[in-house]
Structure formats: structure tokens, C-alpha cells
Amino acid sequence: MKKAYLYKTSPSISSGIAAVLFDLDGTLLDTAPDMTHALNLLLEEEGLKPLAYEQCRDHVSHGSIAMVKLGFGDAQSPADLERRRQRFLHLYEKNLCVDTKCFDGMDETLNSLEEKGIHWGVVTNKPAFLTDPLLQQLGLYERACSVISGDTIAQRKPDPAPMYLAAQQCACLATECVYVGDAERDIEAGNRANMRTLLASYGYIDKTQTPQEWGADGIVEHPAEILDWLDDSCELIYA
């Protein structure tokens, strides 16, 4: 189908949506079980008791440093923190896709986007040596129009540079993208790139956070609601 563009106030700003971009941990994939397992293996190695899944889930989106601090506290020396972080990443890499899966309803959402001719991609701060094999093992890597990891370029979210690169790889403008994420830096990065932003409230958000103040254009409680929001709020641009 031929692309059709609708503009609001400027020919450089499209009101249509050509691509949906996702954060990885806590938005596209439920990686918390495997990341919790890796942390507990590390705790066991150092003679400490494991943590319950419920204690770990909402820290996963904050990455390896946050997970190690959760397990070992903030009083670690910089050397111990880095040693444990590297060991955590090694243990996680070896058990990368045991219980990780798409969130319920995400498979259907991706299928529907593809059927509509809407591109989708991933922009994550997770390093590529974890991102790429994880998506490959789940059969998602080749389907994505763009996969931008935390070390693909020098800048990481909340910097908008990874967002611009993803839009370029999806052959569209940043203003023609929706970014879906579960962390404040996700919404900030998307907003700074002039993308529409959706907060995935089903993701890894702890009770101390105030996501309603992050400035997202919408909030979805389930992946299927992404499609509803697109239908209600956007003009879709078909590839």
C-alpha cells in the first residue's frame, strides 16, 4: 500500500505512525525470572541467601549495577561492585533465555503490527552481547526492523540519539514513531526525540516511582492496549 502522510502544523512533523519501538526488559520481554536467577547464583557463590522474585522484579529495568546493589547493598567498594557486576553478567549470559518470554499478549501485538505493515524495533540499554542472542533465541531478531543496544553507539537512553538511529533504520522520521517503555529514561528519550511515548505500566515499576509524572502520551496496562491506543490516537502509515 502506498504511504500517505498527514501533517499537523509543519511538513516536517507527521501525524502518522510508521513504526513502534520497544524497550526490552519490562516492556517487550519478561526477563526478570532469568535475571533474578543470575543474581541468586551470585549470592549463593558468596554464601548469601537468595532473594525472592518479588524483591527483584521491579529492579530489573535498572540494569546490572542495580541488581548487584540490590543483592549486596550500597556499601560495596567500587572494585567489589565491578567484580560482582561482571560475574553477574557472566552468569546471566550463561542462563539468558531459560524462563524469559514475551509478555502475555505481546506476540499477538507484534503479529498485528506486521499484518498492518507497521515496522517495529527495539531500543534498549542492554548491551548487544546479551540483546542480540536473546532476541535470536526467541525468534524476534530477524523480524525487528531495528535493534539498538546500549553499546551500539556512544549515547544511551535517556539521550535521544539511539531513538533517531532506530527511526533511520526503520526508514521513517522519529516523529513517525511510538516508543513504548517502562522506565522514566524511556519516556524522556522518546519525548526528546519527538516521538509519541507510551508507558508500559505492566513492566518493572516499583512503588516508589511516580510514572504518571513522566510525561508519556499514554499508559497501557497490557500489550494489547498498544494496538487500541494506536487505533484511537494515530493515523497509521503503511509500509
CB proximity list for 35: less than 8 A, separation 6 or greater: 25, 56, 60, 67, 92
Q: How far apart are CA 118 and CA 55, in angstroms?
A: 37
CA 24 to chain centre: 3
Question: Looking at the annotation, which residues are catalytic?
Answer: 23, 25
Query: Do residues 64 and 89 lie in contact, with contact meaning Cβ atoms separated by under 8 Å?
Result: yes
DSSP state of 145: S
Q: How far apart are CA 213 and CA 208, in angstroms?
A: 12
Query: Do residues 72 and 5 lie in contact, with contact meaning Cβ atoms separated by under 8 Å?
Result: no
Alpha-carbon distances, residue 13 vs 107, 121, 139, 175, 229 (angstroms): 30, 21, 34, 6, 20
Q: Residue 103 phi/psi, 5° resolution?
A: -60, 150
Q: How far apart are CA 238 and CA 113, in angstroms?
A: 10
Please, what's the b/e burial string for 114-144 (b: 16 or more CB within 10 A of its CB; e: otherwise)?
eeeebbbbbbbbbbeebbeebbeebebeeeb
Q: Which residue has the cell 560495596?
A: 76
